[in-house]
Amino acid sequence: MKLRAALLIAVAALAVTASAAADPAIVGYPSSMASTGNSITRAFNTCWFPFVDCPANSWATGTNPTVNSHYRRILSANGAIAGRNYNYAVSGAEMVDLDAQAQNATPRGVGYVTIELGANDVCASSESGMTPVATYRAQFQQGMQTLTAGLPDARIFVASIPDIYQLWAIYKDSLSARTVWALGGICQSMLARPLSTAQADVDRRNRVRQRTSTKPRNSPTAARSTSTVDSTATSSSPHRSSAATSRRATTSIPPSQGRRSSPR
């Protein structure tokens, strides 16, 4: 009896150890997803009719086969996700809006969440109008806390901020682009005086570009507060994950097979 009891205790101990070791892994593809973000995730101005949201073309939840979104790639591997792709992004949103979007997403009980925000925090009417890094990080952490409290088992993909310096570099010599930037007051923190080579303007552009590389490196503490920050989809997704992984998912997004993931 003593030997049997000892064996049972040993088996139980092994089971607990195995469970603890396996606990960080989330196996298989999610059966539902939600997206938070701004006009990029809403695929603004990509429909045949201009200047409207076109969520069918979203890189995250889009249904358009030519976009090959995260949703469609998961759908190809797990049909249970069909019709369970929720887009809570809002064109023009900044990081301050993440928490409200997260609150909209959590009641769905989804298994996968994407976050794409920050471009509008940097693309301000002036350099001084950019969201301070500390504020941005606090807003990000608040949104993450809402998501992880409401969706403790969800995998979370955090996209990096687009390099808006490249927008200036590619289109600064285009008269039509410069006209639109000026008339619309677009992203003046970076795009003001686009042809100027004055040192003050060169320095301003470099400072704004530096801000885009600073903000995505959100506090490791914030990242560790998540149940899972999924960075397994880097090469096959439209943006590089910029958050540290606290608990790695074991399944990445199915590959894009060379097609663009975003209608941009």
Range of the domain at 171: 162-214
**What is the spatial distance between Cα 71 and Cα 65, in angstroms, rounded to a whole number?**
10
Task: Pull the structure tokens for residue 121.
Answer: 């925090």
Percent above pLDDT 70 for the chain: 72
Based on the domain organization, do 73 and 179 belong to the same domain? no
Based on the domain organization, do 191 and 246 belong to the same domain? no
Based on the domain organization, do 39 and 86 belong to the same domain? yes
Band of residue 240 on the pLDDT scale cut at 50, 70, 90: very low
The answer as to whether 75 is a domain residue is: yes
Mean pLDDT, residues 138-167: 96
pLDDT of residue 22: 39
Which residue, among 47, 138, 146, 140, has the nearest Cα to 93 in the 3D structure?
Answer: 140
pLDDT tens digits along 72-121: 999 999 999 999 999 999 999 999 999 999 999 999 999 999 999 999 99
Band of residue 186 on the pLDDT scale cut at 50, 70, 90: very high
The answer as to whether 1 is a domain residue is: no
Which residue, among 100, 108, 130, 102, has the nearest Cα to 118 in the 3D structure?
Answer: 130
Based on the domain organization, do 109 and 223 belong to the same domain? yes
How many structural domains are present in the chain?
2
Residue 105 or residue 259, greater confidence: 105
Q: What is the pTM of this model?
A: 0.76
